[in-house]
Structures are given as C-alpha cells and as structure tokens.
Amino acid sequence: MDTVKVLIVDDEARMRKLVKDFLTIKGYRVLEAGDGEQAVDIFFKEREIGLVILDVMMPKMDGWEVLRTIRLYSQVPVIMLTARAEERDELHGFDLGVDEYISKPFSPKILVARIEALLRRHSTKTGEMLAAGGIQVDKDAHVVTAAGREVELSNKEYELLTYFMENQGMALSREKILNHVWNYDYFGDARTIDTHVKKLRSKLGEKGDYIKTIWGMGYKFEVNE
C-alpha cells in the first residue's frame, strides 16, 4: 500500500508532535502546519495529500476558512479537531464539508482508528452505479446526476443520498442514519440529519420528493413510478 500523506494543522506544537508520532508509527507520512495560512500553502504545494487533520481555533486563518478554501478544489477527507463541542459548530462544519469531528482532549489511538476508517471509506472502488427514479450515483467518480443534470453535493449529502438509495423502500431511523453516515458518537438532537436532508432535497429539485419523512422516526427513500 502506498504511503498516505496526512497534513496536521494545529498551532500547538505539542499537539502536532503527539499526532505525528502515532501516525508515523502506523506508516503515514505526516506534514505539519502551525497556522491556517501555512496549511493552505502546504496543501497546494504538496501533491496527493490523503487526509487533513484540522484544528478550528488558529491564528491568521482559522480552521473554517482553511476548510472553505480546500473544498473549493478538493474533496480530500478532513477531520476537524475542536475544543468546543457545541452543536451549532458541528452543524456549521458539516455544512462546509467536514467528514469527522474529534473533540479535544482525545485518545491518539481513537484518532488513528478514525483516520483508518475514513480512508477505507474514501478509497473503496466498487465500479458500482446506483440508479433510481432519474437519479444516478457513480460511486467511484463520486458524481451525482438528477434528471441528467449533475448535482454538486457536500461529502455528507453524498453519503446520505447513497445510504438512502442503497436502502430504498426501507424506513431508516435517525439513529441508524447517524451511525452509518456520521459514523461517530453524536449526542446532539436530530437537527444534524434534518438540516442535511432539507439541503439534499433542495439540490435534487423535484427528485427530492423521493425522500419521505416518517414523522417521529426518520426517513425513507421511495420512488413512486
């Protein structure tokens, strides 16, 4: 397996060293940035960075701004480190394209496990196409079309649509959706899912009506043809 490059962005040198030591032992090549501006410079100078670990609170350019900049050009997996576990911050991050959240302080072993799981999800090549009701998902190319029109989705919106289409006709509880799509212990309320479903429906246009709300339970993807 090729060595994966991981960019760790944190203004605390001690934190960067801790993460770097654990990842290096696991065979990753680790690049470091001490602020947001340096992170952006490294990201665009280096080739084939496989994952970014990004702190929220940093000088010069905070984690949100770094993430916005990266997402203009890349869908590289991003894990956000945060000392704040407020729900509105997490919702904001998912909206911008965060793949995973880890709150400080954290176990380096858990971080490594999250990284490995995230990379597995992003590297899987199946050649699989999903199609239903005029919606097509090319899982390898990460491309979605609805009625022949390409639809730009965030990572979480894409994973949510894929999960719905893979379980067509099945009633999915919010708990199941969180466990599968977010893949981490989320202790907030259902607004995380509801916000993403609302945006996904809007982006799919009339095809968004296939995502049915099951009141008091969750959602179901159903094509009425």
| CATH number of the domain that residue 175 is part of | 1.10.10.10
On the question of pLDDT at 17 being above 70, the answer is yes
Shared-domain flag, residues 92 and 16: yes
Domain with 79 in it: what CATH number? 3.40.50.2300
Shared-domain flag, residues 110 and 155: no
Shared-domain flag, residues 14 and 61: yes
Shared-domain flag, residues 53 and 80: yes
On the question of pLDDT at 39 being above 90, the answer is yes
- Three-state SS at 19: helix
On the question of pLDDT at 170 being above 80, the answer is yes
Domains: count for the chain: 2
On the question of pLDDT at 220 being above 50, the answer is yes
Long-range CB contacts (< 8 A, 24+ apart) of 90-93? 90/186, 90/188, 90/192, 91/191, 91/192, 91/195, 92/64, 93/64, 93/67
| The last residue of a domain, from among 73, 94, 123 | 123
- List pLDDT tens digits, range 75-99: 788 998 887 655 566 666 777 778 8
Shared-domain flag, residues 52 and 83: yes
Shared-domain flag, residues 57 and 99: yes
| The last residue of a domain, from among 74, 106, 123 | 123
Whole-number Å distance between alpha carbons of 183 and 90: 14
| The last residue of a domain, from among 123, 158, 178 | 123
Residue 72 sits in which domain range? 5-123
How is residue 56 written in tokens? 């929220």
Shared-domain flag, residues 213 and 194: yes
Shared-domain flag, residues 94 and 153: no
Mean pLDDT of the chain: 84
